[in-house]
Structure formats: structure tokens, C-alpha cells
Amino acid sequence: MRHRLIILVVILVVAAGLAVAAAAAGYRYGTRERDTDAQVLAQPVLAPVERRTVVSSVTVAAVVESGTAATVALPGASLDRRVVTGAFPAAGDLVHPGGVLAEIDDRPVIVIPGTTPLYRELTTGDRGPDVARLQASLAALGYALEVDGRFGGRTAEAVRRLYADRGHEAPTGSGGDGGAEGEGDPGGRSGATAPAARPDELLVTGDDPLLVVESSRGDPGAGLEPLVRVAGPELVARSSPLDPAAGDALATAAAVVVTRPGEPDSAVRVTGLERVSADDGVHLLARFPFEPGGPWIGESVALEAELYRSPGPVLVVPAVAVVPAGDSGTAVRVWRQGVITVVPVQVGPTVDGVVVIEEADDLAEGDQVVVG
């Protein structure tokens, strides 16, 4: 019995020793693991401070329109049956000042520069501001004459040459006294039939070329007249309906281009923007110059608007890194060698999740900021 007791005591002592050893070992290794876990959890989530150019842009769908277009009054021997006998434009053609827009019943429509259309036939002996405007148009096309408001021999000769240089004879009118300009000049003969300038053959369009937006040669047999509609050299892209805030932002965009979706090389820079209201919302009208092979009337395009571009590479941080500081101030928390330093900053725009840092005394590219 005593022998058994001794054995039991020895077993209990050994078991107790093993338990103490195991407990000690468990405490030591387990604590290290828990300490390591605690250090990982204490490490903040960081993100680097970057320096780069920041661009904010938005893309909206649009459809190309002609803008303001007008139908050209074409000349003809008969008001009922006009026939195309020569040059005739196609939609998408550009006709420059001095060019022949169309030839109807063997008579041309010549495009001339100027701001005010002719409203009457002008011929030798006529005087007035409209004569002076005609003379200025002829001079702009390279015909040397004095702009004095008197239709004399030199003006008549310039009209004759304008037509002759384009393969036509000038129309004639019953001229009166040619005045001083007519002395010694052909066409300045008093009372003689002289070249005339007719409103239906001289189309005043300004200094820019005309863009033909629609044309039809007609069908005399079916009683269909030739048709030519023209506009200025710019087209208009009308955006899809926008909410007012988006319309306001786009209308003040720094730069906008019109492009075919998926064709970046087709981009054409917009020259003017207008915000208009309609029943279905706000629309942006973007004017852009017509380019042969570029976006055309009725085509679906994209308006790519650049709302913001930094002046160059700037410091940026994630938006979540910026925290309130002081009286209406802002700051970022910088992690340096295990210590968090609060750095006051002045911020600019937020673009695609990052904030532009406009001013900071102690922040540099590559610094690590706390984001979580």
C-alpha cells in the first residue's frame, strides 16, 4: 500500500511539472503571436502622396445639326422650270467667296464676300451705299476699283471680269450716266447697255465659305425644282438632355471636342458653347468647324468636355486622407517611422477620388498618408 502511494505521488508530481512546463510554453509562444497580431492591427492603412497632372472630364452623347441654314434663291429663265445646266453642289461641299455655287438655266450663282445682300439690280449710273458694298466685295476678290458708291465704268468692268473669269457673260442693264468713274472706261458709256449686278446671281455670304447642307438637282419632268440649302462653315452638336447642374458645368468647360465614339482621331475642337433649355431638359449646343470626312449632320457623336486640368504635375492624395483641422481647415496625417504627424494642407478640386493639394509646408511626393 505504501509502495502504491509513493508511485502515485511521483506520477502526480511529474504530471504537475509537465502541466507547468506546458503552461509556461503556451504563455510564451501564444503571447508572441498575440503581440504580433496586435502590431498588425495597429498599423494604419497608408497610401502614397503622388505628383501628376490631374484631368477631370465627362462625355455626353450628342447629334450633329446644321445650325442656321437657308435655302438659296436660284436664278432661271422660267419660274416654273429651272434646270441644272452646269456646276451643282453636293451636301458637304464648301463653296468659298468667289466660287460658283450652282449653274441654273446657264446662269451662275456666284458667292461674293460682304455682310448685306443685294436688294436691287445695280448697273451703270446707280449710286448709293449698296453700290459701295458691291464695290467692296469686288475689291475683296481682287478687282481693282475705288469704293466711292458710284457705279461707273470701272465698276462695270469689274462685274464683267467677275463673270468672264468664271466662264459666263455678265447680265446687262440699261445704264444711265456713268459719271466720273466712267470717263474713258469701257462700259461707262452714257445710256448704253452695260454689265449689271443682279441679286439672284450674286450671293453675299460674308468672308467665310458656305457649307452646303442639302442639295437636290430636281426633276423638271416631275415639276421638282433644284434645291440648295447652305449654312455657315460650322456645324452644331446638340447634347442629349442634361440636368441643369450638369448643363451649367459643361457650359463652362475648359475645352470640348466632338468625336465619333471609338474614333479618337476624329476629334474636332469646339469653338463655342451654348446652354439652352427645352421641354425635355437642358441641352448643350457645341459649335465646331466642318471638316471634310468629319462628323456630319444627323450623325451620333460624343461631346468630351474637359472640366478641369491642373496647370502641371501637382501633389495629390486620396480624398479619404483629408481630415478636418482647426477652424474650417484641413490636414493629412503622415506616417513617418511609426509616428503620425498631422500636416495642415490647402486643398483644390477632387477628381476621380483624389484631392489636389494646393499648398502644404511639410508634404512631399512619396510620403505615406493615413487613409484608414
Is pLDDT larger for residue 31 or for residue 363?
363
Report pLDDT for 73: 81
Give the model confidence (pLDDT) of 296-317 as tens digits: 999 999 999 999 999 999 999 9
Report pLDDT for 176: 52
Report pLDDT for 53: 96
**Residue whose C-alpha cell is 464676300:** 113
158: pLDDT strictly greater than 90: yes
Report pLDDT for 78: 54
- Report the distance separating Cα 329 and Cα 103, nearest Å: 73
Of 30-34, 188-192, 235-239, 329-333, which gets the smallest average pLDDT? Answer: 30-34
Of 34-38, 170-174, 189-193, 256-260, which gets the smallest average pLDDT? Answer: 34-38
Report pLDDT for 59: 93
List 228's β-bridge partners, or say none: 215
Report pLDDT for 21: 44
101: pLDDT strictly greater than 60: yes
Q: Do residues 301 and 64 make contact, with C-beta atoms less than 8 angstroms apart?
A: yes
Share of the chain above pLDDT 70, in %: 82
Is pLDDT larger for residue 75 or for residue 135?
135
34: pLDDT strictly greater than 70: no
- Report the distance separating Cα 25 and Cα 366, nearest Å: 43
Angle at 89 between CA 87 and CA 95, to 5 degrees: 100
- pTM attached to this predicted model: 0.68
Report pLDDT for 82: 77
Report pLDDT for 225: 85
- Which three-class secondary structure string do you get for the chain? CHHHHHHHHHHHHHHHHHHHHHHHHHHHHHHHHHHHHHHHHHCCCEEECEEECCEEEEEEEEEEECCCEEECCCCCCCCCCCCECCCCCCCCCEECCCCEEEEECCEEEEEECCCCCCCCCECCCCECHHHHHHHHHHHHCCCCCCCCCECCHHHHHHHHHHHHCCCCCCCEEECCCCCHHHCCCCCCCCCCEEECECCCCEEECCCCCEEEEEEECCEHHHCECCEEEEECCEEEEEECCECHHHHHHHHCCCEEEEEECCEEEEEEECCEEEEEEECCEEEEEEEEECCCCCCCCCCEEEEEEEEEECCCCEEEEEHHHEEEECCCEEEEEEEECCEEEEEEEEEEEEECCEEEEEEECCCCCCCEEECC
Report pLDDT for 316: 97
Domain at 69-230: CATH code: 1.10.101.10
Split at pLDDT 50, 70, 90, the class of 152 is: very high
- Report the distance separating Cα 1 and Cα 352, nearest Å: 86
| Boundaries of every domain in the chain | 1-43, 46-52+312-370, 57-66+234-309, 69-230
**57-66+234-309 matches 69-230 in fold:** no
Report pLDDT for 174: 61
188: pLDDT strictly greater than 50: no
207: pLDDT strictly greater than 70: yes
pLDDT, mean of residues 64-74: 88
pLDDT, mean of residues 277-303: 93
Report the mean per-residue pLDDT for the chain. 84
Domain 46-52+312-370 CATH class label: mainly beta
Report pLDDT for 63: 97
Give the model confidence (pLDDT) of 117-140 as tens digits: 999 999 999 999 999 999 999 999
Report pLDDT for 81: 66
- Report the distance separating Cα 161 and Cα 106, nearest Å: 17
Q: Do residues 236 and 66 make contact, with C-beta atoms less than 8 angstroms apart?
A: yes
Report pLDDT for 12: 37
Cβ atoms within 10 Å, residue 328: 6
258: pLDDT strictly greater than 70: yes
Q: Say yes or no: domain 57-66+234-309 is CATH 2.40.30.170.
A: yes
pLDDT, mean of residues 326-343: 91
> Using CA of residue 244, residue 246, residue 252, residue 258, what is the dihedral sign?
negative
Maximum separation of any 2 CA atoms in the chain, in Å:
163
